[in-house]
Amino acid sequence: MQKRKLGNSGLEVSAIGLGCMGLSFGYGPATEKTQGIELIRAAFERGVTFFDTAECYGPFVNEELMGEAVAPFRDQVVIATKFGFTDGDSKQPLDSRPERIRAVAEASLKRLKTDRIDLFYQHRVDPNVPIEDVAGTVKDLIREGKVKHFGLSEAGAQSIRRAHAVQPVAALQSEYSMWWREPETTVLPTLEELGIGFVPFSPLGKGFLTGAIDANTTFDKTDFRNVVPRFSEENRKANAGLVEVVGKIADTKGATRAQIALAWLLAQKPWIVPIPGTTRLHRLEENVGAAAVELSAEDLSAIESALQQIKVVGDRYPAHLQQRVDR
């Protein structure tokens, strides 16, 4: 697989990474441990060198799974993990106090069975802790060799600038896809100006853009899509037109919907690296295959024209989670 550099940081990763949250958390029952390890190792065998986890995925078990899975080839991959929640629990309040960041780093290093965290993200901007203090703490961890690069997640342009002035930000991770394009307004121009890479999570619209979800789909009771307004039965029906458009484009390219959605992201900027997640080998192979799908200027223009005709319905987060997104 081709490699990409995340902005000016020098951090080089596979053009498509693997988001590992769903192996342990968020999308129904956790994957059995040996299956999770096999999937991560299968990704590496297919050229993936960028793996995304967080202490709150589980909590904690996803990092442990990651550490065990990549142990045989640790020095050949980039591991990204995150801090930012009280006790590592995403249902708890935000907590990015310097002492908490340090505690998370030490605990994550143990769970990941490694001596350094390649990319350490603040999971959400904490309004109670100046971002300069957060950046300064990570800067100290970098100086100590425990962390290699600093990242932010779901941060707005102002926070990105303030953090970057203290410690260069290697990458921003935020939701971005054909059905969530808000980053294009202020975030992407800021990243381009500052030389920061972009890592879109949910690049397949939490599975919706694959075409595998429709108005009749039912989710496991532990699947967080049950509380996402965009995934209400009514909104899934309303948004079906987007999937139809992507499907028509995919047919003309001999590709799948997922591959078109990922190829579209890759075509936006050379410093964008999406991290689709999956628990299934055939989906992994499909996603990896997107790196080989070439979209011409004409293809991109046709996609843009089609997307302009589609109005996506429903918020991407319930109200209590939307409050945690930095502006």
- pLDDT tens per residue across span 203-224: 999 999 999 999 999 999 999 9
Q: Is the dihedral of CA 288, 294, 297, 298 positive or negative?
A: negative
pLDDT on residue 246:
93
Nearest residue to 230 (alpha-carbon basis) of 318, 171, 322, 157? 318
For residue 136, count CB atoms less than 10 angstroms from its CB and return exposed for 0-12, middle for 13-18, buried for 19 or more. middle
Q: Number of folded domains in the chain?
A: 1
pLDDT on residue 131:
98
Confidence of residue 202 (pLDDT cuts 50, 70, 90): very high
| pTM as predicted | 0.97
pLDDT on residue 38:
98
What's the token pair of residue 261?
Answer: 């959605």
Task: Give the residue-averaged pLDDT of 35-47.
Answer: 98
CA distance 63 to 79: 10
pLDDT on residue 320:
86
For the segment 221-255, what is each residue's pLDDT rounded down to a tens digit?
A: 999 999 999 999 999 998 999 999 999 999 999 99
For the segment 123-153, what is each residue's pLDDT rounded down to a tens digit?
A: 999 999 999 999 999 999 999 999 999 999 9
CATH code, domain with 196? 3.20.20.100
Nearest residue to 9 (alpha-carbon basis) of 193, 168, 116, 117? 168
CA distance 118 to 141: 11
Confidence of residue 113 (pLDDT cuts 50, 70, 90): very high
> Is a pLDDT exceeding 80 seen at residue 310?
yes
Is 90 within the bounds of a domain?
A: yes
Is 108 within the bounds of a domain?
A: yes
Catalytic position from the list 27, 57, 121, 176: 57
Task: Give the residue-averaged pLDDT of 254-270.
Answer: 98
What's the token pair of residue 268?
Answer: 């936006």
59 cis-preceded (ω within 30 degrees of 0): yes
Is 317 within the bounds of a domain?
A: no
pLDDT on residue 104:
98
Is 233 within the bounds of a domain?
A: no
Is 264 within the bounds of a domain?
A: no
CA distance 327 to 321: 13
Are 134 and 162 within 8 A, CB to CB? no
Q: How many CB atoms lie within 10 A of CB 133?
A: 15
Is 305 within the bounds of a domain?
A: no
> Is a pLDDT exceeding 90 seen at residue 323?
no
- Note if 317 is an active site residue: no
Residue 76 is part of which domain span? 3-206+269-293
pLDDT on residue 322:
87
Element (H, E) at 282: helix 281-289
> Is a pLDDT exceeding 90 seen at residue 52?
yes
Is 197 within the bounds of a domain?
A: yes
Q: Which residue has the tokens 């080998």?
A: 281
> Is a pLDDT exceeding 80 seen at residue 160?
yes
Q: What are the start-end ranges of the E strands in the chain?
A: 3-5, 12-14, 18-19, 50-52, 78-83, 117-122, 147-153, 169-175, 197-201
Is 312 within the bounds of a domain?
A: no
